[in-house]
Amino acid sequence: MTASWNPERPKVVSVSQSSKHNFSKDRVESVLLVEGLGVDGDAHSGTTVQHVYRKRFHPTEPNLRQVHLIQAELFEELEQDGFELHPGDLGENITTRGIDLLNLSEGTLLRLGPDAVVQVTGLRNPCRQIDRFQTGLLKAVLPRDSAGKVVRKTGVMGIVLAGGRVNVDDEILAEVPAGPKRQLKCV
C-alpha cells in the first residue's frame, strides 16, 4: 500500500551529515545511504548503537537510529513560535516535505530517490541538548495533545534496507506495511 499526505509528491528538501557527534549536521549536496549501516561518513552510521549516551550502557544493541528524518513543516510551525531552524539544525540527515512522518506505521518503507530504502523504526526522542541549541525548544517540540499525552515532533528514525544516493528534490514513496497500524514508539 502506498501513502502520501500532500497533493504534490513528497520529496527530500535537504540532506545533512556529520562525521562528529555534534548536535547539528552540515548540509551537503547528497548523502550515500549504505545498507545496514546508515549515512556514509556520518557519526551515527553502524550496525550497533552509535548514540553517545546509549552506547555507554548498551554498546551491542542494534542501531535502529541509522538515519534521522524530519519534516520541513516542523520548522515552519516553530518559526511561528519565534524559533529559527534550518535543515540539519536538529541533527537530522534527511529533511522532507509533503509526508506526515510522525503518523507513519512502524515498519513503513521510505523509498528515497531511485535506489535507497529506509525502514522506519520509531520516533526520535529529543533530549535536553535541544534547549542548549535554542532555549524553550524542547517544550515546543514536546507539546501535549488534548488528552494530555506528549506528542514527539522531532522526526523519525530508520534503518537502511537498500543503499543508494539521496539528493535534494528526490521523490519519496512511502509503502505502509499490511495489517493494523503499529504506532511509532521512541527508539
CATH code for the domain in which residue 141 is found: 2.40.33.20
What pLDDT digit, counting tens, does each position of 19-55 carry?
A: 999 999 999 999 999 999 999 999 999 999 998 888 8
pLDDT at residue 53, as a whole number = 81
In this structure, is residue 184 part of a structural domain?
A: no
* Alpha carbons 97 and 119: distance in angstroms, whole number: 18
Q: Which residues contact 150 (CB under 8 A, 6 or more apart)?
A: 142, 143, 144
Domains of the chain: total: 1
What pLDDT digit, counting tens, does each position of 161-175 carry?
A: 999 999 999 999 999
In this structure, is residue 180 part of a structural domain?
A: no
The Cβ-side half-sphere exposure at 92, using a 13 Å CA radius, reads: 30
pLDDT at residue 56, as a whole number = 87
pTM, entire model:
0.93
Strands 38-39 and 156-162: unpaired
Q: Is the pLDDT of residue 8 over 90?
A: no
In this structure, is residue 50 part of a structural domain?
A: yes
**H helices of the chain, where?**
52-57, 72-79, 129-133, 137-141
pLDDT at residue 183, as a whole number = 96
In this structure, is residue 28 part of a structural domain?
A: yes
Q: Is the pLDDT of residue 7 over 90?
A: no
In this structure, is residue 60 part of a structural domain?
A: yes
What pLDDT digit, counting tens, does each position of 97-153 carry?
A: 999 999 999 999 999 999 999 999 999 999 889 999 999 999 999 999 999 999 999
Q: Give the pLDDT mean for 48-75.
A: 93
- Position 180: which residue type? P
In this structure, is residue 111 part of a structural domain?
A: yes
Domain that holds residue 29: 2-175
